[in-house]
Every structure is written in structure tokens, then in C-alpha cells.
Amino acid sequence: MENLVIIGGSDAAISAALRAREICPSVQPTLVVADSYPNFSICGLPFFLSGEVTNWRSLAHRTREEIEQAGIRLLLNHTATKIDSDRKTVQIVDREARTTELSYDQLVIGTGAESIKPNIKGIDLPGVFLLRWMDDSFAVHKRLTEEQPQSALIVGGGYIGLEMADALTRRGMSVTVVEFSETILTTVDRPLGDLVAKELERHGVKVATGVQIESIEDHGRSLTIKGTNEFSAQADLAIVAVGCRPTTTLAAGASIQTGARGAIKVNRRMQTNLPCIYAAGDCVETWSYLLNSYTYLPLGTVAHKQGRIAGENAVGGNRQFVGSLGTQAVKIFDLVAARTGLRDVEAQEAGFDPFTDQFETWDHKAYYPGAEKMIIRITGDRSTQRLLGAQILGHHKSEVSKRIDIFAAALFNKMTVEQLNDLDLSYTPPLSSPWDPVQMAAQAWVKNRDHL
């Protein structure tokens, strides 16, 4: 029986363990988990902090018992400190600094990512928080419940920053979001980001763009936060959410090669450069389906897929990671913003000749109550008409996220924009139109491209 050791306790690690068991029931994987929270949905932290999730334990995708019943051995509160790839051992340390060694036949590294800690004076002050793991969220939660802060400043207008703006507003706090770029939510095009900013402002959130935070000072209960463009604000709490980077100290120490943004280099079988060592999830480079190259794009969906493949291959399988389209969705108050594939600028950089068209329509037949406007941006190659990417902004009841998935399925199958009109999509007046908005947008793209 192969001895499978997996370092990590989040999406990639658990997926690898489950898949290994599924393919090869005689394997009993050992997971080395740095904290006490294996298989927690860290994407759910903002909803715990908003109060919408009342019990943090429900954030677990599976309970500890379920994982163990699935035949997976959990070594909680153990940190892997060293990999010896010649001897095929991993050194692990517990919370009392006791060191032991695990032997492996096959090893999967799923160490994930960590919050980027920007160069802000005062970032280590007690009222300033990063947010990635469960312990981070407990620290914020303690502050929220014990100190009852009335205001918050959030550094970073990406997914976590905006979800936290939504979350803390729901708690009744006064919230300011500060973003370095000229628009928030830079993962989508500016017209959509600007509408998300309006949605935030509609709910009382102040949004400051083009500002780099430089210093945070503590004045007892309140923080003074200063930045470029003479930005200055007071807040009882600050959350810094400016992105993440791969956690690769362990891998680098074992001479495992790293690449883009310092992430672990893997092939499509999720193998590192060292024999019998796989890696998956937020700690690795990700194959881009459309760019045909490796990028760094840490997403939970991708971590699940990569982990599943690493687990399958670690027990003798031979499966390739097909690649990521960068499909993603986020809900901010009443809106959902979603994207898949390439945006215009990314398509240009990749050597395509892109044309991007924006189309607005109702999410379902306007005569049926509750119709909401939806904006769809399609990017396609001008000459070949190949679909390259799409972005949708709409109401959270408008099936935005699964409409972006229609585009994702089309991208996966290398369809043209016009071919979207051949898809036999469902229709009933409360939910769509005879041509789904996705198809109306495709027809507009073709028409406007032709008229150029």
C-alpha cells in the first residue's frame, strides 16, 4: 500500500485525499494540517463576519469526523517544516515544538496562499487585520463583538475587500473602501466596476479609488489612516485585503522549482520537478486554457480540480489538468459580477485581435414581475469570431453566475460567438427570453463587429 502524505488541510489537500481514496480504496492518506480547521470554506469568512453565518463550524465543507470516516488521517496543528526528497520524508512540528518525521511514497503539497502584507506603517497595530484563514477571522470576530467598532476602513477593492464592505455594512458599521487602482473590482472591466462602486455607495459605503494607503496610526479606540492624494480617514477597525501570494517556503527549501509570482511549478499532471512530489491549489502556477501558458490565479474551484487530479495521479492515475478559464463570481449587496476567459487587454497581450461589445437587456421577459437589467460584455476574436471571454453584471436573482457558466462551457469547447445562437437554451418568461440574454449579447457582438 502506497504511503500518501498530503501537506495542507484546505481545498486542494482535501480534494487530493478524497480522490486518492476514491480511485484506490486501500490508500490511507495522512494530512498535515497547520491549524485545527481542515476543509473549511475560507470563501465563507465574510459571511461569518457579516453575521449571516451564525456558527463558524458550519463553514466546514465536511466535519472532522466525516473526513476521518472517509479514511483520511488528520494530523491537526502540525506544520511541515522540511521535505527530504532523497529520503522521502517530511519533518513536522506540533504546537509544542515537538519534531517528528513522516515517510512518504507519494507527497502532495497543498500549502495554499497567504495574505500579502503591504508596506503600510502601522500594519501590525491591534486594530488592523488581514483575512485569509480561520484564525484571522476569529481575530476579526473577537474585535467586532468585544469592541463593537462603529466604522471600518478596508484597504483593497477586490473580492474579499468588497465582500467585507458588504459584510460590515450589514453589521451596521460605517465602511470606507480604499483602492489603489482607478476603479474597484479590477477583475472586470471599468464600466462594470463603476456600477459595483455605485451599488456600494447606494448602501452607504464610501469608495476612494486611486489612493495608496501609507500609514495607520492608533489613537486609542480609533485609527487614523492616511494615503496618497491627501487621503485621510478615521476608523475603528482596518482590514487589509490586497491579494495573496503562494505559500512556498517549504517547497523552496526542498529545491522544488517555482515560477510566476513565486508559485510552485507543476506540469499538467500536477507534478513538481521532484519525483513523487505533486502540488496543487493556491500554492502552484495554474495552466491557462486560453493563454496556453502558466499564470498565477488562486481560486477555490481550481484548487478543487487540481487537488483531485494530484490525488488521482499520486495513486497511479494519469490525468491532466485541462486548464483554468479564470471563471469567477462575486456577490456584492444586490449585484453579482462574474467573468470567464480573457478580457480585451488580456486577449491583445495573448496575440488575439479582440473586439469587446457591451450589451444590456432584461434578465427575463420584462412583462413578468421582477425583471432586472443585466449587462453582458463579450470579447471575441475579430477575424475568427472565436469567443474569448465574457463578463456579466446583474441582480443576484438574475442567474448571472450560471449564465457566465454557459460562456465558460462555450469557451471550453472553443465555440465562436455566433455559435452561441445555435445553443438550445431554456426559456420560460419568469426566467429568460426566447433568445437568452447570452444569445442576444452574442447577436449584438456579431452585428457590431460587422459594422466596424
**CB-CB contact of 339 with 188 (8 Å):** yes
Q: Is residue 431 close enough to count as binding a second copy by CB under 8 A?
A: yes
Q: Is residue 328 close enough to count as binding a second copy by CB under 8 A?
A: yes
Identify the CA nearest to 41 among candidates 122, 134, 123: 134
**Cβ contacts of 42 within 8 Å, gap of 6 or more:** 10, 59, 132, 133, 134, 300
SS3 category, 99: strand
377 to 416: interface string for a second copy, x by CB under 8 A:
-------------------xx-x-xxxxxx-xxx-xx-x-
Block residue for cell numbers 502506497? 2
CB of residue 1 to a second copy, shortest distance in Å: 21
Quick one: which of 324, 356, 361, 379 contacts a second copy (CB under 8 A)?
A: 324
Identify the CA nearest to 327 among candidates 403, 247, 226, 417: 403
49 to 88: interface string for a second copy, x by CB under 8 A:
---xx----xx-x---------------------------
Q: Is residue 369 close enough to count as binding a second copy by CB under 8 A?
A: yes
SS3 category, 247: coil
Return the number of the residue (225 or 408) whose C-beta is nearest a second copy: 408
Q: Is residue 361 close enough to count as binding a second copy by CB under 8 A?
A: no
Give CA angle at 257 (345, 255), nearest 5°: 160
CB of residue 33 to a second copy, shortest distance in Å: 18
SS3 category, 283: coil
> Of the listed pieces 114-122, 217-225, 248-256, 334-342, which binds a second copy according to CB under 8 A?
334-342
Q: Is residue 22 close enough to count as binding a second copy by CB under 8 A?
A: yes
Give the C-alpha separation, 34 to 244, whole Å. Answer: 18
Would you tell me the crossing angle of helices 159-170 and 190-202 to the nearest 10 degrees? 20
> Total number of residues binding a second copy (CB under 8 A)?
69
Q: Is residue 9 close enough to count as binding a second copy by CB under 8 A?
A: no
Give me the residues that bind a second copy (CB under 8 A), please.
Answer: 11, 22, 41, 43-44, 47, 52-53, 58-59, 61, 289, 299-305, 308, 322-331, 336, 338, 340, 365-369, 396-397, 399, 401-406, 408-410, 412-413, 415, 421-432, 434-436, 447
